[in-house]
Amino acid sequence: MKRCCISFEKTIEGIMKKAFWDSLQAQLSEDPPVYDHAIKLLGEIKESLLSFLLPGHTRLRNQINEVLDLELIKQEAENGALHIPKLADFIIGMMGTLCAPIRDDEIKIIRDISDVVALFREIFTVLDLMKLDMVNFAISSIRPHLMKQSVEYERKSFQEFFDKQHGSLDITTKWLQEAASDVLSSDSNISVPGGAVAAAAPEISTLCPTTVLNHAYVTLLKLDHVNRLFPETVLMDQSRFEEMQMELNQLIIIAAVLLVIYNMTGAAISGLSGFLDRLKRIIKVLLTGMHSLSFHLAEAMVSMSEQICVEVNNCLSQHGFSPLTTEKETVLKGQIQAISSSDNSVRKLIDLRIQTFLKMHLVSSNPKLVAVPGGLGPIGSELEEITIKFLHLVNYNKLVFGPYYDTILTKVLKKDDSQIPGISEKEQLSEG
């Protein structure tokens, strides 16, 4: 109902605007021309231009008031001496002076318009864009201040809640301890030249706190939300992490299936982007509801393998290639069905590459330079969307709870077995 009302309002608004512009065209077409509507528009343009000025723009303000003097313009209209193109040149020039560089192309387009009605219409369109630019600039200017206030408020509120509970950040501490153990285990398994394993396992005290924390965040996307409690410091964002986890689980299967398909068919269909998109749509449809209790992934993968083989054979035939042999078809179906297992090697490989991709973004000063790992290209756009959401969530959480993490990690990485509480009020204030 609400959508219908909005659509109706837009329709009425469009009709009224068209009627106004038609009326302006009719007035200017009279002999002699009538400038009532045009003068009203000039007054609105004048107010818009003045609204862009800062207090120190005295010279520009004087110019606008002098050239767009409405009383003088009315007298010129009455005496048949009003020259709208001249006023338009001044307006466009002033807009070019006040607009953001991104609007330069729009300004150039306006300069080439000779029809007065079309010119007025485009001027107002660009003025609206300039107002939007000004609002966005104002928001971007105060965003750091708003962010700081938000961080301080959330940190203070959490500290008050923590103090009232007389507890400790046990779950957060365990989460970070496990992350440190994971990183330590990963580092100790790194091979050295010659194929041997590093002789001396690294000490936990040598681990980088940032590396441990970033790994901990990524593990939240693998957490068993049914049997594990979420860390206190990210509890408010649990639903968001769970949503991203479900999206990633589906992407992992999609990427794994596509990797298996393209490894089997080789160069025959590798360059057909349209076919890739079709396969993705089919896989997504068959995975619909995969996180519901009634969904059986193994059964879905059987249906998927059958349909994929049909699609692949049709595509090969259409492009002059021989369809898959019975043997290859059987192998392809088997490999696709095997992806239903969480221990499947292809699925685990894709999962690991996504985790690495997310960690690279967390440490990169320019995320745009982070290359998409092999095998993830087909899900690149979807992965980018999730990565952006993940980064926003993690970076804000770091700002709010950074002091808590510093305190806990300092003790965890020093093998301090004593109880690790939340930071004291004194530490909290000093960090803020």
pLDDT tens figures, 228-267: 899 999 988 999 999 999 999 999 999 999 999 988 887 6
pLDDT surpassing 50 at residue 329: yes
Cα(151)–Cα(161) distance, rounded to whole angstroms? 15
The better pLDDT of the pair 126, 3 is held by 126
pLDDT tens figures, 260-303: 998 888 767 777 778 888 999 999 999 999 989 899 999 999 99
Q: Which two tokens stand for residue 299?
A: 């059964």
The better pLDDT of the pair 15, 196 is held by 15
The better pLDDT of the pair 365, 104 is held by 104
Binning the chain into helix, strand and coil, the percentages to the nearest 5 are 75, 0, 25
CB 402 within 8 A of CB 431: yes
Cα(61)–Cα(48) distance, rounded to whole angstroms? 12
Q: What is the 3-state secondary structure (H, E, C) of 363-408?
A: HCCCHHHCCCCCCCHHHHHHHHHHHHHHHHHHHHHHHHHHHHHHHH
What are the two backbone dihedrals, phi and then psi, of residue 191, each rounded to the nearest 5 degrees?
-80, 150
pLDDT surpassing 60 at residue 375: yes
pLDDT surpassing 90 at residue 156: no
- What pLDDT is stored for residue 13 in this prediction? 67
Q: What b-and-e string marks burial along 327-354, b requiring 16 or more CB atoms within 10 Å of the CB?
A: eebeebbebbbbbbeeebebbebbbebb
Residue 80 DSSP label:
T
Cα(334)–Cα(297) distance, rounded to whole angstroms? 14
* DSSP output for 208-224: -HHHHHHHHHHHTTS--
Q: Tell me the whole-structure pTM to 2 decimals.
A: 0.66
Q: Using 50, 70 and 90 to split pLDDT, how confident is the model at 195?
A: very low
